[in-house]
Amino acid sequence: MPRGRYSLHDPHDHTPLGEEHFQCAPGPSGWRYVSRTTSPSGTHLGSVDLALDDLGRPIRLELHAADWQVRGAALEGVTWVRTDPAGLHATEGNVRARTFSGTSPAFLVATSRLLRLTPDSGETRVRLVTFTDPVLAPRTVDQSWALVDSETHATDNGPLTVDEYRVSALDTGERHTVHIAGDVVLAAPGVELEDLESPPSPAPRQAG
């Protein structure tokens, strides 16, 4: 069960945004990730609880940030309920998208597990609903993912495969690179892995 800590920063000016303390593990139905985020001063900012089925689809999502809450799942695309801080109003949403996204590195792992790309897959388009901090506002985005490299490295705990993805925002054309080992993000825009207590769990493609 990987457990560790990511540092989060603004991908443009590198302003520190805080840390995300996480643990994740494969389970009988797929994969689960739980985390809590803190500000640079250590103040609690929010939490993530994401569960995927064995095909990488989100069967449960619960986000908390600044007293806002989102609960969602894959249902006729993706469906969610967003609740305001006072708890007086809840708004429902549904989009013909394949999965969720957001600032947590969990969503990068989730998308890679959903797409299960190979170096021969080429560019694969995916529609996501992303929730923006700090009010968890939903926004539909289209991205293109490609697995451009996959290298296996020898470690004390056995072979470790690191996948390099090229992710493109189709509305702006902006491209960036994401490095994932199993179910842990090694590096991505705004994300750095600072601490990892145990090795990553293999991705489905690597495991099967």
The residue ranking higher by pLDDT, 158 or 43, is: 43
Q: How many residues in total does the chain contain?
A: 208
| Average pLDDT, integer, range 81-98 | 93
Spatial neighbors of 187 by CB under 8 A, at least 6 apart, are 177, 178, 179, 193
What are the tens digits of pLDDT across the range 5-27?
Answer: 999 999 889 899 999 999 999 97
C-alpha R_g of the chain = 16
Which among 1, 57, 56, 53 has a CA at the least distance from the CA of 29? 53
Looking at the predicted structure, is the pLDDT value of residue 206 above 80?
no
Provide the mean pLDDT of the chain. Answer: 93
Alpha carbon separation from 129 to 49, 97, 99, 140 (Å, rounded): 16, 7, 7, 4
**Cβ atoms within 10 Å of 124's Cβ, excluding its own:** 13
Interacting residues of 164 by C-beta distance below 8 A, sequence separation 6+: 147, 148, 149, 150, 151, 177, 178, 179
The pTM score is: 0.94
- Locate 9 and state its tokens: 């920063």
Torsion, CA 131, CA 57, CA 19, CA 87, rounded to 10: 50
Q: ∠ at Cα 152 (178, 149), nearest 5°?
A: 40
Give the pLDDT score at 187. 95
CA distance 166 to 176: 6
Per-residue confidence (pLDDT) for residue 91, from 0 to 100: 95
Bridge partners of 6? 20, 193
- Retrieve residue 56's tokens: 């990488």
Categorize the per-residue pLDDT at 98 as very low, low, confident or very high, splitting at 50, 70 and 90. Answer: very high
- Summarised one tens digit per residue, pLDDT across range 148-158 is 999 998 887 77
pLDDT value, residue 205: 58
**Averaged pLDDT for residues 62-84:** 96
Domains of the chain, by residue range, sit at 3-198
